[in-house]
Chains A and B, each alone.
Chain A
Amino acid sequence: MSPGLRRLYMPRPVAVEADAGGRPVAVEGVAVEAIREEWLLEDRWWTLKPMRRHYFELALADGRDLTVFRSAVSGRWYRQRA
């Protein structure tokens, strides 16, 4: 990326507790009230650095609406404005 350019909506690491099925139950200690929507994104599967994300749009107990995803490649959780 050119100097001076900054990407918007970059994923940020976040602490998520998930149940046995891999579905979030708390984000940074705040309980998940509901999963509004979930979807899968896959890209670059033909390269050595494939992208595979499992997104969840969550309603948290404190009223926030938050979108998180789990990277199937790294196994880490991220939040992201979607």
Chain B
Amino acid sequence: MEIACALLGEDTLALDSVEIAERTERALRELEGIGAAVESERPGEVFFALDGLRGLHGGDAAGVLRAARAAIGAAVRIASGPTRFDAWLRASGRRAPVPVSALAGRLGVSEREGAELTAALRRLGIETLADLAALSPDRIADRFGPVGLRALRLARGEDDPPQPRAAHEELAADLELPEGAAGAQLDRALELLVDRLLADPRRRGRTVLALRLGALLSAGGSWSVDQGLARPTASALALRSVLGPRLEALPGPASSLRLRALSLGPRVGDQLELSLRGEEHRRRRLGEAIREVRAAQGGEALLEVLPLDPRSRFPERRAVLTPTAPSR
């Protein structure tokens, strides 16, 4: 298997996290547009397998990479290799001998843990990937455990294949905010965003599994938060109740809000919360109204139809009028 790695250009370093995420998402969709099954575990970085794409783009890997570069459009560095790690090393311009520090962010653990491991390797005189690859798994396992073995696998050119995401359409809603929007205005903006997102015809009745709420800050910069949902839902009330508290973490005044569906679930018509709440609300208001009328007009002022024998052939036996019960 040959894997390609696309790293969005150096100019992304000047961008903030939300914009990098947006560019990455665009790149993912463009690559999906040329038939690639894409994986992206971090912003600015995309992996896809070349197998199956050669026939579509000129018959060789170079043709696929050309097509990918043309599809993404922006400054992008693309390279391919037998594993994800190898492709990433090539795309990021590293040449042998590659220092073990290159492993730090690629071990599936936190950056700090990765840096601790590579620092420990260097203290032991293991400076390059070639040095590490020469060690036996037993020695590494004894000293560094599973993270060390993961590092050893990468150094030896072994890696898991990409796990492509399910291709999906862009489903997002934006809203410009008035200057200094805060409090109830933000809540109202979120309400509108949720309604717009759910009303998007491309959703085609599907539920939402995960969302990203983002904002461009008035003072510059941006903010975003990903929110998974406990169960798939298409209920505006459920989405608002989950996202509302996240808005409180907004670090400053925002000039716009953006809501994106990261993942869609099966089609379900689950507006149960709304209908149940509505029914309860209606019942409570009706009860209050009945009490008021009975207090003002007397117990006989309100009557209700009580079915006795609804299917009787004699109409007068079917139902009676009775005073409405006070508890209703």
- A: which residues have CB within 8 A of B? 1, 4-11, 41, 43, 51, 80-82
- Which chain B positions have C-beta within 8 A of A7? 316-317, 319-321
- Which chain B positions have C-beta within 8 A of A82? 315
- B: which residues have CB within 8 A of A? 300, 303, 305-306, 313-323
The 9 A-B pairs with the shortest beta carbon distances in the complex, nearest first, are: A9-B315, A6-B321, A5-B320, A8-B319, A82-B315, A10-B316, A9-B316, A7-B316, A4-B323
Interchain CB contact under 8 A, B314 and A8: no
Interchain CB contact under 8 A, A9 and B313: no
- Find the B residue at minimum CB distance from A42: B313
Interchain CB contact under 8 A, B321 and A9: no
Closest chain-B Cβ to A40's Cβ sits at a distance in Å of 10
Residue of B313, B315, B317, B323 most packed against chain A (CB within 10 A): B315
Interchain CB contact under 8 A, B300 and A11: no
- Which chain B positions have C-beta within 8 A of A9? 315-316, 318-319
- Find the A residue at minimum CB distance from B319: A8
- Which chain B positions have C-beta within 8 A of A5? 306, 320-322
- Which chain B positions have C-beta within 8 A of A4? 300, 322-323
The 12 sampled A-B contact pairs (Cβ below 8 Å) are: A6-B303, A6-B320, A6-B321, A6-B322, A8-B315, A8-B316, A8-B318, A11-B316, A41-B313, A43-B313, A51-B314, A80-B316
CA distance A8 to B321 in the complex (A): 7
CA distance A77 to B175 in the complex (A): 72
Given contacts A1-B320, A7-B316, A9-B316, 11 further A-B contacts (CB under 8 A): A4-B322, A4-B323, A5-B320, A6-B303, A6-B322, A7-B319, A8-B305, A8-B318, A8-B319, A10-B316, A43-B313
- Which chain B positions have C-beta within 8 A of A1? 320
CB within 8 Å: A-B pair count: 39
- Find the A residue at minimum CB distance from B303: A6
- Which chain B positions have C-beta within 8 A of A81? 315
- Which chain B positions have C-beta within 8 A of A6? 303, 320-322
Interchain CB contact under 8 A, B314 and A41: yes
CA distance A41 to B308 in the complex (A): 19
CA distance A6 to B317 in the complex (A): 11
CA distance A6 to B304 in the complex (A): 10
- Which chain A positions have C-beta within 8 A of B321? 5-8
- Find the B residue at minimum CB distance from A81: B315
Closest chain-A Cβ to B326's Cβ sits at a distance in Å of 13
- Which chain A positions have C-beta within 8 A of B314? 41, 43, 51
- Find the B residue at minimum CB distance from A4: B323
Closest chain-A Cβ to B313's Cβ sits at a distance in Å of 5
- Find the B residue at minimum CB distance from A51: B314
- Find the A residue at minimum CB distance from B305: A8
CA distance A51 to B321 in the complex (A): 24
- Which chain B positions have C-beta within 8 A of A41? 313-314
- Which chain A positions have C-beta within 8 A of B315? 8-9, 80-82
CA distance A82 to B305 in the complex (A): 16
- Which chain A positions have C-beta within 8 A of B322? 4-6
CA distance A60 to B203 in the complex (A): 57
- Which chain A positions have C-beta within 8 A of B317? 7
CA distance A43 to B315 in the complex (A): 13
CA distance A1 to B317 in the complex (A): 12
- Which chain B positions have C-beta within 8 A of A80? 315-316
- Find the B residue at minimum CB distance from A8: B319
Interchain CB contact under 8 A, A8 and B313: no
Closest chain-B Cβ to A54's Cβ sits at a distance in Å of 13
CA distance A7 to B306 in the complex (A): 10
- Find the B residue at minimum CB distance from A53: B314
- Find the B residue at minimum CB distance from A5: B320
- Which chain B positions have C-beta within 8 A of A8? 305, 315-316, 318-321
CA distance A5 to B322 in the complex (A): 5
Residue of B303, B314, B321 most packed against chain A (CB within 10 A): B314
